[in-house]
Amino acid sequence: MSILLSKDTTFIVQGITGREAVNLTRECLDYGSKIVGGVTPGRKGREVHGVPVFDTVVQAVEHHGGPIDGAVVTVPPAFTKDAVFEAILGGIKLIVVVTERIPRGDVAQMVELADMNGARIIGPNCLGLIVPGVCKMGGIGGPAKDAAKAYAPGPVGVMSRSGGMTTEISSSLTQAGLGVSTAVSIGGDAIIGSTYAELMPLFEADEQTKAIVIYTEPGGRMEAQLSEWVAANDSRLPIVAFMAGKFMDDEEMKGMSFGHAGTIVEGVEDTATEKIARLEAAGIRVVERIDEIPTVVKEKLGVLA
């Protein structure tokens, strides 16, 4: 089992003829993902690694002969909102938005339209998601052989605001003999389609998942929302959190953003110190060192003597 993806998941790549999209198409196909089409306006009739390219999402759906499950959107920021709207209204239910530097207003519009149509957005500013050995949707983990090295199947669900750290953490879980059920790069922006708390019910319902690891950063209220979710729901899943960017709490770093757009601290509650306190108050174990994660997960799972 897994969340969001299965071996039968079909998806398209919007902006498929772009350099980055061509690479991720190759990587996903090599990993065994079912990419059934690509969309780049004006490029109908071409192929990218054997995947047919269309002008519109509707054409891709018609060619497929039935509903398509997902879309990876990798188009420039000014065109992303339109591409996501097209996907949602084309009946697609899982949309991974890779693009970064999209204004919040646009992201909020995408999310609102998705909610109205029963669709889910992952990202923006993310690398997508992966179910080890089953399906990879987006650039997460890189080329298939690299992804295979970092991601082995296992009991840990991973959610991370950093795409690169999703792989770093998953790799450490794999090396420790634990492995990953599903890893989601949720995106580094201030407003994202799916937050930790919004994905928790999916992991909760997934039999394979026995524990959760989250990677978090300063900025935003996503961790507060997770703490509230944990307090309100009697979750069976132990959560281990790692908070990066503690140096941003220093006085001289005020008003600066590091790493991702979403790390901008707009209030006291957004600081690393405050977030760690909240997570811990909700019973979430926050580790100081990144390399403690596998050990603490093992403790939580009772695998250690």
Partner 1 sequence: MRFFEYEARKIVELAGIPVTKYGFCTTPEEARAAAEEIGGPVVIKSQVLTGGRMKAGGVKFADTPDEAAEHAAAILELEINGHMPRGVLVDPKAEVKQEYYAGVVWDGTAKRPLMLFSDMGGIDIEEVARTHPDHVGRGHVSNLFPIPDFEAKQTIAATGVTGSQLNRATPVLARLARLFRENDMTLAEINPLAELTDGSFVALDAHMEMEEEAVGRQKKLLRVELGIAEDDTREPYEHSAFEEHVAAIDAADHRGVIQGKDHGFTGNLGLVIGAGGGSLTLTDAVRSQGGKPANYSEIGGNPSVAKACGLAKEVLEKDGVEKIAVMMSIVSNTRVDIVARGVIKACLELGKDPGETIAIFRIPGAWEDEGFRILERYGVEYCDRSVSMWEAAGRAVAKIQGTPEGAAA
Catalytic residue annotation: 260
Near partner 1 by CB under 8 A: residue from 91, 103, 133, 153: 103
Quote the CA–CA distance of 293 and 279 in Å, as a whole number. Answer: 16
Quote the CA–CA distance of 114 and 193 in Å, as a whole number. Answer: 9
Strand partners, 28: none
Does 101 help bind partner 1 (rule: CB under 8 A)? yes
Strand partners, 63: none
Q: Which of these ranges, 30-38, 40-48, 57-65, 158-166, lies near partner 1 under the rule CB under 8 A?
A: 158-166
Does 107 help bind partner 1 (rule: CB under 8 A)? yes
| Closest distance of CB 67 from partner 1, Å | 24
Closer to partner 1 by CB, 60 or 114: give it: 114
Near partner 1 by CB under 8 A: residue from 131, 190, 241, 286: 190
| Closest distance of CB 255 from partner 1, Å | 4
| Lookup: tokens for 199 | 């994905």
- Footprint of partner 1 on 39-78 (CB under 8 A): 77-78
Does 143 help bind partner 1 (rule: CB under 8 A)? yes
Does 183 help bind partner 1 (rule: CB under 8 A)? no
Near partner 1 by CB under 8 A: residue from 44, 221, 285, 298: 221
Does 214 help bind partner 1 (rule: CB under 8 A)? no
Closer to partner 1 by CB, 33 or 208: give it: 33
Does 225 help bind partner 1 (rule: CB under 8 A)? yes
Does 26 help bind partner 1 (rule: CB under 8 A)? no
- Footprint of partner 1 on 228-267 (CB under 8 A): 242, 244-248, 250, 252-256, 258-261, 263, 266-267
Residue 205: CB atoms within 10 A of its CB come to: 10
Quote the CA–CA distance of 84 and 80 in Å, as a whole number. Answer: 6
CB 15 within 8 A of CB 41: no
Near partner 1 by CB under 8 A: residue from 112, 201, 233, 236: 112
| Whether the bond into 41 is cis, omega within 30 of 0 | no
Does 30 help bind partner 1 (rule: CB under 8 A)? no
Contact residues for partner 1, defined by CB under 8 A: 77-78, 101-105, 107-109, 111-113, 139, 141-143, 146-147, 150, 160-165, 167-168, 171-172, 175, 188, 190-191, 195, 215, 217, 220-222, 224-225, 242, 244-248, 250, 252-256, 258-261, 263, 266-267, 288-291
